Structure formats: C-alpha cells, structure tokens
Amino acid sequence: MSGEAAIGIHDLSFATTQYVLTHATLAAETGTDVAKYHVGIGQRSMSVPAADEDIVTMAAAAAAPIIARHGADRIRTVVLATETSVDQAKAAGIYVHSLLGLPSATRVVELKQACYGATAALQFAVGLVHRDRTQQVLVIASDVSRYELGSPGEATQGAAAVAMLVGADPALVRIEDPSGVFTADVMDFWRPNYRSTALVDGQESISAYLQAVEGAWKDYTEQGGREPGEFRAFCYHQPFTKMAYKAHKHLLHHCGHDADEGEIARSLGHTTTYNADVGNSYTASTYLGLAALLDDADDLTGEAIGFLSYGSGSVAEFFAGTVVPGYRAHLRTEAHRAAIARRQDIDYARYRALHEHSFPADGGDHPVPRETTGPYRMAGLLGHKRIYEPR
C-alpha cells in the first residue's frame, strides 16, 4: 500500500426525504409476511420523496452543512453521481451549485454508472487533489430508487443523498491505494431512457453482484492490497442490507477465510443501520453505510475499513480507507439521526399516488404544492425548465 499522501474524506453529510413508508405498511397492503422484509431482506422502511423533492433538493440539503462548516473557497470541482438524473444534458450539480451559492470559478459535472458512480467520483476527486493539494472536491451521490408497483424490487426502494468533501489531510477517512476494479457486460438491472422505473432480473443481479465482488477483490489482491483479516469493518453497496451479508460471506468463502456469525456481524452490523431505514439509495448506499459505521461504532481510530462499491451493468471497485485520529469531533451523528427520524410516516395510498406522479411533458406552467419541510424544494416545471428554490 502506498500511503504516500493522506487524501480522503474530510467531511460527510447526508439527507433523505420528507416521507417514509414502513415495510409493515407495505406488507399489510401486499399480503406479504413482514418477516420477509425485516429478516429476509433486512429492511424496515423506505424513504419516499415528496412531490417537491428530487435528487437536486436532496443533494443540496446534504451538501449545505458542509459548505456552512468549511466555506467554498477551496472547492473548485463538484461531481454529482446519480442514476436518476433529471436531465439528459444539464448536470444536476449545476442546480445544486446555484442553490448553495458556490463561486462561478467551479467545474461541475455529473457521473453515471448505476450505483457505482459515487465511487468513481470519489476516486476522480482523490486524483484531482493529488494534482493540487490545496483544492477540495465536493462529491455528491444522490438517487431515488423506483421499481414497478407490485414487483419484487418494490420493497427495496429508497432515496438519499450523501455529500463528501474530499481533500488533503482529511478529518475522517484516508483513502488508500490500491483499488481493485472489475467490469462485466451484464443485463442484471437497467433503466432505458423512456422508463421511470428500473428493469431488473433479481436473482441474476445478486449473482452478478457476487461475481463482481470476487473480480474486484482478485484485482485488489493482485495490486498488493490488504488481507481480509486486516479490516475492522466493510462498507458494501446495500440494495437491501441482507445483500451486504451475502456479499461478505461470499468474499470470505472465496478467500478461504473462516469467520463465525459473530465476526461477520461485528464487521458489518454498524454499516447497515441507516440503509435498513432508508432503502436503496443507489449511488449513496455505500457511503450511507460509512456514515452509519462512523456514527454508531465504538472508536475506530486507525482502523482499516473495506469498501465494496457495485453498480449493475456492471462495475465494481474494492478499496480501503483508514479512520483518522480525532474523527469523532467532526461527525454529524445528531443531524443524521434527525434526518431519518424527522420523516413523516405515510400510508400506502399516499405512497402510491407519489409513485405514480409525473409531470406533463407539454412545456406548460406546472407549479408543485409546498410539501417538503427540507431546506430546498422544486417549485415546479415552467416551459420545460425545472425551478428550484430554498424553502
């Protein structure tokens, strides 16, 4: 491992939606045994955006506390990763840049590769900081996951944004070299441009994920990475929290590393608490896992954390980070817990109406009623233009 330059995550903040649908409510509606959700896939509830929320409002809400704490003087790049983009041409990050009042001397770009995009953004950010250690990069992952009503994927929906400030001498986590990377052309999950919900072959997607874990780990090992036993915890992409357990057991088995249930729970347990309540937040999921780990676990100072990022289609990356001494003073634990606790419980009918809501494509004036109590909202569509405002 070349630990040459300490570059990594200096601050991390997340935001989620106004509403929450519990799996108990979903189970009662669909006649499913709730244990399938609570135990079988490891999910308790899913975040549901209000009609005036989307990936932009969540991204701005996640990033605003970072700008408030550090200012924007050193941020010259904003990379927003998403697979639920609001425009085919304009980067969603430009709306966020505007809502946050960032300087015009900033480059803003959007990245996509399913749930993997934020890890590409993080690695690109590390590269930019290597080039100029005085600069910081604002990396944002923001997504709303949507499957068809009544489909097996419905129980794995969710929404959240994670914002990370990447810079030299980070206060939270140093990102290590090397990375193990893996790409395979598979159709396990995808969303053609004309669809608002994803298409997925559920069981195929699980196998593709496990193959990618193996492939990324193989490359990580060949690049001279750490041994499995060196990690204190592993943050996996969590389409549902049980997937982290499947992936980790697969990895340990592949490595011939014996671990009992207690050790596995110790490696993963803290990383799943936010995801179990939020659902699949696609690009944000792995980093919501990191937020939960840092917020919930006992002192992690100096410990190595393994990250496995997976995006269907598929690309995966395994890399390591080390937790920085003093990190606890920089956490946003209270705000994170409040973001989850403040969501308003909705019934199935309300969730269904929100799920089915879409804007007319006629270029008319379509204001959205005020709903969210978050800091930013989408005021409506006017002449095909999305209008955002502070609440």
Chain positions contacting ligand HMG, by CB under 6 A: 33, 35-36, 39-41, 83, 114-115, 152-153, 155-156, 188-189, 200, 202-203, 205-206, 209, 237, 239-240, 243, 280, 282, 310-312
Instruction: Return the number of the residue (136 or 275) whose C-beta is nearest ligand HMG.
Output: 275
- Relative orientation angle of helices 117-131 and 285-296, to the nearest 10 degrees: 70
Q: Residue 211 CB, nearest distance to ligand HMG (Å)?
A: 11
- What tokens were used for 206? 């699980």
Instruction: Return the number of the residue (237 or 332) whose C-beta is nearest ligand HMG.
Output: 237
List, in sequence order, every beta strand (DSSP E) within the chain. Answer: 7-15, 19-22, 45-48, 75-81, 107-111, 136-145, 158-168, 173-183, 189-190, 199-200, 231-236, 304-311, 315-323, 344-345, 365-367, 376-382, 385-390
Q: Residue 32 CB, nearest distance to ligand HMG (Å)?
A: 8
Q: Say which DSSP state 343 is in.
A: P
Distance CA 47, CA 95 (A): 22
Instruction: Return the number of the residue (239 or 289) whose C-beta is nearest ligand HMG.
Output: 239
- What tokens were used for 309? 């990022």
Q: Residue 213 CB, nearest distance to ligand HMG (Å)?
A: 11
Instruction: Return the number of the residue (64 or 186) whose C-beta is nearest ligand HMG.
Output: 186
Cis peptide, bond prior to residue 178, ω within 30 of zero:
yes
- What tokens were used for 264? 């596995």
- Classified as helix, coil or strand, 314 is coil
Q: Say which DSSP state 38 is in.
A: I
Instruction: Return the number of the residue (46 or 67) whose C-beta is nearest ligand HMG.
Output: 46
Instruction: Return the number of the residue (142 or 312) whose C-beta is nearest ligand HMG.
Output: 312
Side chain identity at residue 17, one-letter code? T
Distance CA 283, CA 287 (A): 8
Instruction: Return the number of the residue (241 or 322) whose C-beta is nearest ligand HMG.
Output: 241
Distance CA 340, CA 333 (A): 11
Side chain identity at residue 100, one-letter code? L
Chain residue at closest Cβ approach to ligand HMG: 40
Place of tokens 């393994």: 306
Q: What is the greatest pairwise CA distance in the chain? A: 61
- What tokens were used for 115? 């749930």
Q: Residue 76 CB, nearest distance to ligand HMG (Å)?
A: 29
Q: Residue 385 CB, nearest distance to ligand HMG (Å)?
A: 27
- What tokens were used for 75? 């941020």
Catalytic residue numbers, as ranges: 83, 115, 237
b/e per residue, 108-132, with b = 16+ CB within 10 A?
bebbebbbbbbbbbbbbbbebbeee
Q: Say which DSSP state 375 is in.
A: S
Q: Residue 10 CB, nearest distance to ligand HMG (Å)?
A: 27
Instruction: Return the number of the residue (152 or 229) whose C-beta is nearest ligand HMG.
Output: 152
308: burial class by Cβ within 10 Å (0-12, 13-18, 19+)?
A: buried
Q: Residue 342 CB, nearest distance to ligand HMG (Å)?
A: 25
Place of tokens 């986590």: 173
